[in-house]
Structure 1
Amino acid sequence: MNLIIYLPHRLVIAFLTLIGVMIGTFLFLHVIPSDPAAIIAGQNAPEEILEATRQKFGLNAPLPAQFWRYAMRLASGDLGVSLRTGQPIFTELRRCLPATIELATAACAVALCLGIPLGIIAAVKQDTFWDHLIRFFSLAGLSVPTFFFGMGALFLFYYLLDLLPAPGRISLTLSPQTPITGLLLLDSLLYQDAAVFWDALRHLLLPAATLGYLSAAPLIRLTRASMLATLRQEYLRTARVKGLSEYKVICKHALKNALLPILTVSGLMYGALLEGSVITETIFQWNGLGRYIVSAMLESDIQAVLGGVLIVTLMYAFINLMVDLLYCVCNPLIRYV
């Protein structure tokens, strides 16, 4: 199956996945031991308000009709209203999602810059001092709890050394201009505001480094294992015999063939980061998607939780599609079946 046929096939699968999640969230609203009208109008709303809510949102209609109305609302971007704030959920998600995208992208870049090179070095230097040191480095990242590493980094670089600013996305003394994308770094570049850019970058460094290191740890182990399996192949011995330099053998031939599992895990890692690392966001006071969903869960704001779930599903479907399409870039000979 070539890419032209494969792309519509994957788009159909992604669309069916979204439909399945929509059905799941819709049924969840009807199986929980609570009246959907009471969720929307409030648990203490009088009966006449509840009845008016049922009429307004069509909750008296049959389930298929209710689902169709629910799907149409989601298609128009209407995710409902938050019970905590009374604000549209789409507006609240649009406000917190850019913070998560900014942090996840920076953390993923750190993880890739650490994980892939260190994994290659560990594989090439197998059973040497450098291999053992890198494996210890990755094991520490897998073993140390997120809250301990984050608080330790904050204590060292903010409290003791005073090299990085306090938690948050930007200093209280600065006032960013009206958001364009919601991404502070990008918006400050668009406004050509150097002060906001450098301040936002300094605030981003510590949480991105924390998440990046913790995400790089499993990536190092996977890269090492994948490279070791590839380096034993006969065609690499042939390449060396033909006189190719060790750099070309490793980076051009071995890495290219070892990259597919690394690419798959990197996509899943980025998707997981986009869900929002609740502990990291809490430690560094980063008001992202993870904190939003957890806060909604703690306050029984079901509509907000389901809105967050739908956004996460949409992002995962998009990332999986991009990873699948990148396979053919890494290996043009790959065939989709």
Structure 2
Amino acid sequence: MAKQPKNMIKYIIKRILMMIPMLFLVLAISWFLSYLMVQQNLVNPVAGRLGGTLDPDVIEAELRRIGYYDPWFVQLATYFKNFFTGNWGSSYLIAQDKPVIDLISEIFPRTIELMIIPIILSPIIAVKLGVASATHKDNIKDVGVRAVAIIGAGFPIFWIADLLQRFFGYYISNFTYGSFDIPAFFGNTPGLKNPPPSITGFRIIDSIIANNQVYLWDTIAHLILPAICITFVSLASMTRQTRSSMLDVLNQDYIRTARAKGVVEQDVINKHAIRNALLPVSNLIVAGTATALLGSFFIEVVFNYKGYGYYMVISIITGDYLVTLGLLVFATIIILSGTLIADVLYTIIDPRITYT
């Protein structure tokens, strides 16, 4: 056991080293796709920078300045160099001349603010529902849980978001349409017209620091529907996996032995079954977080919530390819880091795991 911490450190270092070529691969593929878009004239790399000027000499000078005529391998090497030195380029359409790094630092806290509750609640609710479903197999409770899981997994997240938006936006005006900047029913509220100074980037925290309670409660009200939607969709797969894993564990010999010895059923479930049933679910929780991040793309567009996913979709639609590249690579870094964290947390749940 004394060697376990050292082995864990070695394993973490090994995983980080494995992540480096994966990151390079994602960078190369992302750049190559954007390169093809530029070469096929699907996007114009200088139009936004020049403010619509049609002077051929000015356009030509700008193309040479950005290395448009350089060989592809020189452009790729330049992209790698700029990426690792923090120069991810600037937006030329959706956020005029704003560096991509600055844009990410501005919008990513908004997405974290939206996702933090689903990330916390989804595993908790999914485990409780999955355990309840497995321990009441084939009765009304089990059928109800399975129906909820099927709906969450089977229906598109944007359809569920649109349904909630229409229902609550029409019947319950307090929820509106989830927009911070131009809400359907809160257009004249002081809170949305007078946001607090951005200190942390998190609107709730900034509202608390500035003691701006009107903006604070408006912010929370506009987060409710998107958060419910992401939570509902994220917990569906986790609930099904928990139920399946729990049913498998409940059929194991050691569970039957515990019952034969007269152990109270609640103790059998809580002390013996759940811990082992959660082992295959733990990795799914991190995968669910990644799914929630991808799902937020649709949620933010439907609810006009100007976060990470919203800008990803808008940058693709408008052809602001440097923003698309930066957001895609940043999301890759987050997902790779989450996978590493999941592997480490797996040992906390099951200390029997050894590292090599």
**With structure 1 as the length reference, what TM-score do the two structures score?**
0.88
Deviation at 1:22, TM superposition (A): 1.5
Change (3 A) 1:186 1:252: farther
Equivalent position of 1:4 in the other structure: 9
- Give identity over the alignment, percent: 28
Q: Which amino acid aligns with 2:142?
A: D
2:152 aligned with 1:141: yes
Q: 2 CA distance for matches of 1:282 and 1:75? A: 30
Change (3 A) 1:190 1:241: farther
Deviation at 1:113, TM superposition (A): 3.0
Equivalent position of 1:107 in the other structure: 118
Structure 1 residue corresponding to 2:318, chosen from 291, 299, 302: 299
Deviations 1:234-292 (A, max 9, x none): 12223334454333322232221121221211111211222353332222211122221
Q: Which amino acid aligns with 1:114?
A: I
Q: 2 CA distance for matches of 1:28 and 1:151? A: 31
Structure 1 residue corresponding to 2:79, chosen from 51, 56, 70: 70
Q: How does 1:158-237 map to 2 (within 5 A)?
A: 158-169=169-180, 172-174=189-191, 175-237=194-256
Q: Which amino acid aligns with 1:16?
A: P
Q: Which one is further off, 8-17 or 99-108?
A: 99-108
Q: How does 1:235-254 map to 2 (within 5 A)?
A: 235-254=254-273
Q: How many residue pairs are counted as aligned between the two chains?
A: 336
Deviation at 1:62, TM superposition (A): 5.0
3-state SS of paired residue (1:40): coil
Gaps of 5+ in 2: none
Q: Which amino acid aligns with 1:188?
A: S
Q: 2 CA distance for matches of 1:290 and 1:191? A: 27
Q: Which amino acid aligns with 1:156?
A: F
Equivalent position of 1:266 in the other structure: 285
Structure 2 residue corresponding to 1:116, chosen from 118, 127, 149: 127
2:23 aligned with 1:21: no
Deviation at 1:231, TM superposition (A): 1.2
Deviation at 1:76, TM superposition (A): 2.8
Runs of 4 or more, structure 1, over 6 Å off, are: none
Equivalent position of 1:311 in the other structure: 330
Deviation at 1:58, TM superposition (A): 4.3
Change (3 A) 1:285 1:54: closer
Deviations 1:194-238 (A, max 9, x none): 433332222111110012112212221111001111111112223
Change (3 A) 1:54 1:212: same
Change (3 A) 1:220 1:274: same
Q: Is the 8 A contact 2:234 2:289 kept in 1?
A: no
Q: Which amino acid aligns with 1:12?
A: L
Structure 2 residue corresponding to 1:98, chosen from 104, 109, 112: 109
2:77 aligned with 1:80: no
Q: Which amino acid aligns with 1:81?
A: S
Gaps of 5+ in 1: none
Q: Which one is further off, 77-86 or 163-172?
A: 163-172
How large is the Cα RMSD of the aligned pairs? 2.6
Q: Which one is further off, 139-148 or 161-170?
A: 161-170
Q: 2 CA distance for matches of 1:45 and 1:20? A: 37
Q: 2 CA distance for matches of 1:154 and 1:51? A: 47
Deviation at 1:63, TM superposition (A): 4.6
Change (3 A) 1:169 1:219: farther
